[in-house]
Amino acid sequence: MSKVKLNVLGISYSQTQTGAYALVLAEESGNRRIPIIVGGFEAQAIAIQLEGLKPARPLTHDLFFNFANTFGISLLEINIHKLEEGVFYSQLTCFNGKKTIEIDSRTSDAIALALRFRCPIYTTEDILTKAGIIIDFEQNPEGAAEDASDFEVNEEAETEIENEELSILSVEELKHLLDDAIKNENYERASQIRDEINKRK
């Protein structure tokens, strides 16, 4: 079965499920997109890696990454291999220096780990045919996002007000706020502050 490479395009608030997020994966050599609903914790784990933020203490996926590296285990790739009743199933393909092992994983966890290990993400043509849709992303029409500038979260009105408050602060004050947000593990807020700092550059 042929594999199709995917890239992480972005993540946004889900319009259909309260408290959930939509992770969008993009076909590398095409214009189809796969939206996957993920929970808040998993969305945070993916978002902070996309943003390049460094938690004060390791999160679960960071711990997995550190553990694997310590014992010489590599994550070679992840494969989204099955779609059943709207649920995506994934496998981690790992190598311990002697043999290759496949481990079952939730897709949200697999993506969070793929970003940390910088390994490729694959799916099948069959799944792309079933779940793939074409979305017109105005800010990134040519493909997948791989850096923080391409990461988007559709903010609600209260967040827009918070961003306006950030605009009146100095860069030095923003840096202090950023340190505090990371220390308190408020990564969504840290992302907003970092965006404001980047605007000043």
Position 192 scores a pLDDT of 76
Q: How many CB atoms lie within 10 A of CB 113?
A: 24
State the pLDDT at residue 17.
63
| CA–CA gap between residue 195 and residue 90 (Å, rounded) | 32
Instruction: Write out the two tokens for 117.
Output: 């290990």
Q: Which CATH class is domain 3-154?
A: alpha beta
Query: What residue spans define the domains of the chain?
Result: 3-154, 156-201
| DSSP letter, residue 142 | T
From residue 189, alpha-carbon distances to 59, 123, 201 in Å are 17, 32, 19
Q: How far apart are CA 171 and CA 92, in angstroms?
A: 41
Q: How far is CA 44 from CA 4, 22, 37, 47, in A?
A: 26, 12, 13, 5
Please answer whether residues 81 and 124 qualify as being in contact, where contact means their C-beta atoms are separated by less than 8 angstroms.
Answer: yes
Cα gap 107→91, rounded to integer Å? 8
pLDDT for the residue 63: 95
Distances in Å between the Cα of 63 and the Cα atoms of 34, 57, 97, 112, 116 are 28, 9, 20, 12, 11
pLDDT tens over the chain, length 201 residues: 689 999 998 888 766 566 678 899 999 988 899 989 888 888 889 988 988 888 888 889 999 999 999 999 999 999 999 999 889 999 999 999 999 999 999 999 999 999 999 999 999 999 998 888 875 544 444 433 333 333 333 333 334 435 556 676 778 877 878 877 777 767 777 777 887 788 777
pLDDT computed for residue 7 by the predictor: 94
Which DSSP string do the residues of 177-198 spell out, in sequence order? Answer: HHHHHHHTT-HHHHHHHHHHHH
